[in-house]
Amino acid sequence: MIQKILFMSVAILPFATSGAVLTVENHSTNAAVLVNKVLYPACVPHPGIEGWCVLPPNERMVYTLSGYASEKLTYVSMVETPTNDLKPGNQYLAGDQGRVYELYGAGDFTYQNVGFKTQRLVCNTRGGSGASQIRISIPEQFDQACTGPDDQYERWVDGRDDLDMKIDFNTTGASKN
């Protein structure tokens, strides 16, 4: 059994005037991460999916959001899958040079300022049991993990200017020979 692991961390550091700095790191050696091109126009376009870009293994990107209000961030993690290992019922995406990727996990995060005091965070994971985990932590407020399949977590949190938020992605999948 070949174990394929994707680990990505996201740190959001809000600033009162300039917006939030978002850092995404893909610590995987064999899995790519799809990121919405609207949020990061400088990244490498995905050859098969218009509007998305690829964060390759062992790469990092940093960008500034204009603000939390009505911002939606979507991340999809993929693991390259040999064509002889395609499983019925799983979602596959075509990549460059004829590669086939199996979807192992995804995360949606919506940040919405309400009354200048709260934010709503929603995370979802998709995949087989134990295939993905997304952990959101805010010091002195909460530390919550979402695990697949189709887990969802929603929380209202204090929207202080000094709020530090960390989001960790940990997606694993196994291929059978």
Q: Is 75 or 13 the better-scoring residue by pLDDT?
A: 75
Q: Is 4 or 19 the better-scoring residue by pLDDT?
A: 19
Exposed/middle/buried for residue 32 (C-beta within 10 Å: 0-12, 13-18, 19+): buried
**pLDDT (0 to 100) of residue 147:** 66
Tokens 């062992």 found at? 58
**Each residue of 19-44: pLDDT tens digit?**
555 666 666 665 666 777 766 677 77
- Tell me the mean pLDDT in the region 147-152: 62
**pLDDT (0 to 100) of residue 128:** 52
Model confidence at 121, pLDDT cuts 50, 70, 90, reads low
**Each residue of 72-116: pLDDT tens digit?**
555 666 666 777 778 777 777 776 666 777 766 565 555 555 555
CA distance 150 to 99: 26
**pLDDT (0 to 100) of residue 24:** 67
Q: What is the dihedral of CA 84, 86, 88, 90, to 10 degrees?
A: 180
**pLDDT (0 to 100) of residue 10:** 45
**Each residue of 47-66: pLDDT tens digit?**
666 777 777 777 777 766 55
Instruction: Please check whether residue 32 is in contact with residue 57, taking contact to mean a CB–CB distance below 8 angstroms.
Output: yes
Mean pLDDT of all residues belonging to the chain:
60
